[in-house]
Chain A
């Protein structure tokens, strides 16, 4: 292994600019003549707009323009990227999503008008002069309310019953048959709490219009600038790709929330064409809470049929998923194809049925947040399996082992569409149990009891599907775009290399990891490699970064393009060494001819390609630059075991996480330092979901957790240090053997935490606790359980 190649913990190339304040985030960019936008948002969850008077705002000092939905009426709505069909085959309800509200507002924060002014303060001041005549309508803030008979309708006739779709996977009757043979049926009702992604950089966008060329430029906080160009250009503003440049510069975290095409991007781009000056919009954090797509928000019931021996026979899952007020880009696929297809987990359950109803409510749109569907599936399964162990009097680990898909069973076809290519669930379980000292737990529990503390241990053995995604498969499931990736390798005349990738780094460290692939493959110093990303004018195409796809899809595209470079360079080297191309070998940056001492280095070949005075013109073009598109054959399937140990103070209900151990199979590891960092971050978000974070609406649809004063963001003192490591099998269908590591931490950990909390409370007879397991909830559970009648 070289010091900068595959497997090396190379320090990150991008860190210097971030550490010295020289990053270039969207809000750091200013254009000559720039103006500022303030977006007036609805204060009501549901209201009719009778009229909007913008006269006073337009007349205010420094104001250039005020636009409302009527002004943008000719512009297309914000599109949804994935169609899902109902059980009966009919298409889902897909109501329009205007960039600025027309006729009605449907959630607190819905965009009503935009003020463009010489300064942000002037725009904000002028927005206070806009008079909107609203008639408030009754709102549905929660799914139960939305489904009640006679409930107010978010989209009137466009979504009767507030239903987006009623979808199913599997044959319910077939699964019912398994239940007839079952010795045991274990059932569970769960809520997967609604979360706000809260990337630390608030969303921002700058629209610019070039009066000379008619070209538009959008700078935006996006995880996938080409996707934004496609969606906004083709569907919203009708600007062809060659006249629209989208730049996503340094982006301060995404976690899914910066995948989607947001109205503000279309508004500033469109308005820049009207006012003929650049327009910058930056969200205040309060606006982020009211306009960034939220995550999770499922209510589920599940039944697990088990035979007398503890083997799972069948699983039925009924889930309601909150879509919010409008369909965000990937909202519809999250609770279906990223959720129900995961319900086999790591187990051999032969028959599975899932029914998912997607519901409109008067809340902010809900879409993918780190893990996206897979944390919801994992939480349901791993809570259910632990509950089954308790109900059947089995050991938590034994019940899992008894049902694991064995390591020699791959490729393994699940009953819910996916075919797993590789894994070894016993290996990750065993290593995690060792690291967490599982067997020493009873002694620690007894010791804690001596101090008056309730100690619990919880486990989760999980799997996820990422590396999104094989285009043919997802196309057949309703995806309206392919999910491949592109790469371009440009070898410069003196042998340095620039990689243009369609993946986008917003914290993941691509500039280092991808450069390691180049350093390893071409045998050149990592400092001679630059990774360029985030600009549709420089990068041919790209589907961006989400679903742990950057390395497994984007990295594979780079490897494919590098392979083409090596092929061509070998031919040039053969010519220089007067050898046959078949006899040329390339290793450690040198071309050699087998059985001779002939040798040329990579730099010489690169120079020859660009100074072609001695060049095989009859067979090769000059230059050394190659493109590749890579479309994966299958999803990748990381998995592993997370073990959490907690201590609860029964007097206060406060839970302290004592130990969090994660052993994950992420496939081949390119940079272990970065991989561990990704897992740490995922664990923090998973523990945050389990113990701290909750997005709450009151019955009228007002967001009551709309700031960092109200929404409990995890702080450093909420966590212990993490024990995170990898125990990998290789992905069987890509050249690197990589699977993905971005989401595993957030997927596997929430059930481990809650199972630990329930283990700590088990002796009191507490059987359920909902996320987040706040001190108040736990204290109340302890108080209720202490009542003799409740304590069995």
Chain B
């Protein structure tokens, strides 16, 4: 079995994989980073979104071997030193942007990438961006609100009051 190496959440990681092993499987099963979830088998749901070299990627759409040498950030990498949440994570908590929590890691990782490219997204732009992330619990209402608040916090503004 080939060996694959990558930087994951700032640490050098490597492991043996089958050539068919997906990046999502490598992250969950080999690295035991189970915050990245798998919710479908057609690359639709977005529960497995991670950052690869800074861009959001559905980790079920990449083979682990394709990520050899890459810099990968998973949900566990956002608030590594204990209890300080990333502003986007904080915004999801403040705005009740999650219920069962299963789609949440993908939503947060995707949202951070949106704000990287569009620091002040409109509600319409947020809803369009989330086309690749499915949530069954929230009706998206509070996710959209969370991302707007998270974007404001990432811009250094205080989230607008209700």
**Interface residues, chain A, CB within 8 Å of chain B?**
11-12, 14-23, 25, 27-28, 121, 198-202, 250-253, 255, 284-286, 506-509, 673-674, 676-678, 680-685, 707-709, 713-717, 719, 721-722, 724, 745
- What residue in chain A is nearest B125 (Cβ atoms)? A717
- What are 19 A-B pairs with beta-carbon distances under 8 A? A16-B85, A16-B93, A19-B92, A200-B135, A200-B136, A201-B102, A202-B38, A250-B101, A253-B137, A285-B42, A286-B41, A508-B99, A673-B96, A708-B44, A709-B44, A715-B131, A716-B131, A716-B143, A717-B127
- What residue in chain A is nearest B21 (Cβ atoms)? A121
Query: B66: CB under 8 A from chain A?
Result: no
CB atoms of B139 and A722 under 8 A apart: yes
CB atoms of B105 and A21 under 8 A apart: yes
Partner of B45, one of A18, A200, A284: A200
- What residue in chain B is nearest A25 (Cβ atoms)? B102
Q: How far is the CA of A715 from the CA of B138 in the complex (A)?
A: 11
Q: How far is the CA of A684 from the CA of B103 in the complex (A)?
A: 16
Which 4 A-B pairs give the minimum distances between C-beta atoms? A21-B35, A18-B101, A252-B102, A684-B139
On chain A, the residues within 8 Å of B123 by CB distance are 721
Partner of A19, one of B99, B104, B127, B137: B104
Q: How far is the CA of A726 from the CA of B78 in the complex (A)?
A: 36
CB atoms of B98 and A21 under 8 A apart: no
CB atoms of B39 and A202 under 8 A apart: yes
CB atoms of A19 and B89 under 8 A apart: yes
Give, as a whole number of angstroms, the nearest-CB distance from B143 to chain A.
7
Q: Please provide the chain B residues from 100 to 118 with a CB less than 8 Å away from any CB of chain A in the complex.
A: 100-105, 108
Q: How far is the CA of A715 from the CA of B34 in the complex (A)?
A: 25
Query: B74: CB under 8 A from chain A?
Result: yes
CB atoms of B96 and A674 under 8 A apart: yes
Give, as a whole number of angstroms, the nearest-CB distance from A431 to chain B.
19
Give, as a whole number of angstroms, the nearest-CB distance from A687 to chain B.
8
- What residue in chain A is nearest B135 (Cβ atoms)? A200
**Interface residues, chain B, CB within 8 Å of chain A?**
18, 20, 28, 33-42, 44-45, 47, 74-76, 78-79, 83, 85, 89, 92-94, 96, 98-105, 108, 123-124, 126-128, 130-131, 133-144
Q: How far is the CA of A14 from the CA of B108 in the complex (A)?
A: 16
If A12-B93, A716-B143, A719-B141 touch, whether A23 touches B41 (CB-CB below 8 Å) is no
On chain A, the residues within 8 Å of B85 by CB distance are 16, 19-20
CB atoms of A680 and B42 under 8 A apart: no
- What residue in chain A is nearest B104 (Cβ atoms)? A18
CB atoms of B140 and A716 under 8 A apart: yes
On chain A, the residues within 8 Å of B134 by CB distance are 200, 708, 713, 715
Q: How far is the CA of A20 from the CA of B83 in the complex (A)?
A: 9
Partner of B41, one of A21, A199, A201, A707: A707
Partner of B99, one of A20, A23, A677, A708: A677
CB atoms of A21 and B100 under 8 A apart: no
On chain A, the residues within 8 Å of B83 by CB distance are 16
Q: How far is the CA of A714 from the CA of B127 in the complex (A)?
A: 12
- What residue in chain A is nearest B128 (Cβ atoms)? A717
CB atoms of B144 and A21 under 8 A apart: no
If A21-B74, A721-B123 touch, whether A200 touches B18 (CB-CB below 8 Å) is no
On chain B, the residues within 8 Å of A717 by CB distance are 124, 127-128, 130-131
Give, as a whole number of angstroms, the nearest-CB distance from B88 to chain A.
9
If A11-B94, A21-B76 touch, whether A253 touches B41 (CB-CB below 8 Å) is no
On chain B, the residues within 8 Å of A27 by CB distance are 28, 34, 38
Partner of B101, one of A252, A255, A682, A684: A252
- What residue in chain B is nearest A288 (Cβ atoms)? B40
On chain B, the residues within 8 Å of A673 by CB distance are 96
- What residue in chain A is nearest B142 (Cβ atoms)? A677
Give, as a whole number of angstroms, the nearest-CB distance from B124 to chain A.
8
Besides A20-B85, A285-B42, 14 new A-B residue pairs in contact (Cβ under 8 A), listed by A number: A11-B93, A11-B94, A15-B93, A18-B100, A18-B101, A23-B101, A27-B34, A27-B38, A200-B47, A202-B39, A506-B100, A707-B44, A716-B140, A719-B127
CB atoms of A20 and B100 under 8 A apart: no
Partner of B100, one of A251, A683, A707, A721: A251
Give, as a whole number of angstroms, the nearest-CB distance from B76 to chain A.
4
Partner of B139, one of A23, A681, A707: A681
If A15-B98, A252-B100, A286-B41 touch, whether A21 touches B75 (CB-CB below 8 Å) is yes
Give, as a whole number of angstroms, the nearest-CB distance from B95 to chain A.
9
- What residue in chain A is nearest B78 (Cβ atoms)? A20
Partner of A683, one of B41, B105, B133, B139: B139
Q: Could you say which of B39, B74, B131, B136 has the most chain A C-beta atoms within 10 Å of its C-beta?
A: B136
On chain A, the residues within 8 Å of B96 by CB distance are 11-12, 673-674, 676-677
CB atoms of B130 and A715 under 8 A apart: yes
On chain A, the residues within 8 Å of B104 by CB distance are 18-19
Q: How far is the CA of A716 from the CA of B129 in the complex (A)?
A: 9
CB atoms of B44 and A507 under 8 A apart: no
Q: Could you say which of A200, A201, A506, A676 has the most chain B C-beta atoms within 10 Å of its C-beta?
A: A200
CB atoms of A15 and B92 under 8 A apart: yes
If A20-B75, A21-B74, A255-B136 touch, whether A707 touches B92 (CB-CB below 8 Å) is no
Give, as a whole number of angstroms, the nearest-CB distance from A785 to chain B.
31
Give, as a whole number of angstroms, the nearest-CB distance from A503 to chain B.
15
On chain A, the residues within 8 Å of B40 by CB distance are 285, 707-708
On chain B, the residues within 8 Å of A121 by CB distance are 18, 20
Give, as a whole number of angstroms, the nearest-CB distance from A109 to chain B.
14
Q: How far is the CA of A21 from the CA of B36 in the complex (A)?
A: 7
- What residue in chain B is nearest A252 (Cβ atoms)? B102
On chain B, the residues within 8 Å of A722 by CB distance are 139, 141
On chain B, the residues within 8 Å of A684 by CB distance are 138-140
Q: How far is the CA of A14 from the CA of B47 in the complex (A)?
A: 19
CB atoms of A507 and B137 under 8 A apart: yes
CB atoms of B39 and A200 under 8 A apart: yes
Give, as a whole number of angstroms, the nearest-CB distance from A157 to chain B.
39
On chain B, the residues within 8 Å of A28 by CB distance are 28, 34
CB atoms of A716 and B39 under 8 A apart: no
Give, as a whole number of angstroms, the nearest-CB distance from A202 to chain B.
7
Q: How far is the CA of A507 from the CA of B102 in the complex (A)?
A: 9
CB atoms of A709 and B42 under 8 A apart: yes
On chain A, the residues within 8 Å of B128 by CB distance are 716-717
Partner of A680, one of B75, B94, B126, B138: B138
Q: How far is the CA of A290 from the CA of B42 in the complex (A)?
A: 15
Give, as a whole number of angstroms, the nearest-CB distance from A551 to chain B.
15
Q: Could you say which of A20, A255, A745 has the most chain B C-beta atoms within 10 Å of its C-beta?
A: A20
- What residue in chain A is nearest B139 (Cβ atoms)? A684
On chain A, the residues within 8 Å of B100 by CB distance are 18, 199-201, 250-253, 506-507
CB atoms of A716 and B127 under 8 A apart: yes
If A19-B92, A201-B37, A285-B42 touch, whether A681 touches B137 (CB-CB below 8 Å) is yes
- What residue in chain B is nearest A17 (Cβ atoms)? B101
Q: Could you say which of A19, A199, A717, A724 has the most chain B C-beta atoms within 10 Å of its C-beta?
A: A19
If A200-B45, A722-B141 touch, whether A20 touches B89 (CB-CB below 8 Å) is yes
Q: Could you say which of B18, B98, B123, B128 has the most chain A C-beta atoms within 10 Å of its C-beta?
A: B98
Give, as a whole number of angstroms, the nearest-CB distance from B55 to chain A.
19
On chain A, the residues within 8 Å of B74 by CB distance are 21
